[in-house]
Amino acid sequence: MTGSAAVTESSVTAGDTMHVVARVGTERFAFRVVDVEEVLDAPALIAVPDAPSGLAGQLLHRDQTVRAYDGAWVFGIPRLGRAGTALVLRVAADRVAILVDDVEDLAALDADAIRTPPAGTDPAGLLRGVCLPGTAGAAARDGALIGVVNAAAMMARTSSLRGAPARAGGSP
């Protein structure tokens, strides 16, 4: 994707929900379209002095600064390269940006195809479930599971960092 794009819910069949599928390292995550306010390619980050671990900085979005967190830190997975895209999520009145490697797809995921995450794979409770291989165009490409994100839980995890002690070295 290039530039920025506002994301809107489109018509889908009953039981399906549109999701933005993003990659972080070797993992894929699906964010409900209704939770994604905008997708930004190559966002300019503003450094935050003494930032807590995981906070990559802030970005300017619609004349407001929004906290930007490293998606690898949020999901507890290794960062393999540089994040090139930000998903601006909005839950109620709160906004946060999650930095991902790339946005790969816009896919309709069948609610009946979403399963509980395997035991021990989601200790932070950030996933609503996983989409099994072959249940969406994005999942069928390589048979890899897609984590279906609980945006409210993610927002709670990042919001808890406000006022958190800084880690040595500033932002990741």
Architecture of domain 15-159: Beta Barrel (2.40)
Contact 108, 12 (CB under 8 A): yes
For residue range 84-110, what is the model confidence (pLDDT) as tens digits? 899 999 988 888 999 999 998 888 888
pLDDT band for position 2 (50/70/90)?
Answer: very low
Predicted TM-score of the model (pTM):
0.78
Quote the pLDDT of residue 133.
Answer: 55
Among 12, 34, 153, 36, smallest CA distance to 103 is for 36
Enumerate the domain spans of the chain: 15-159
DSSP state of 12: -
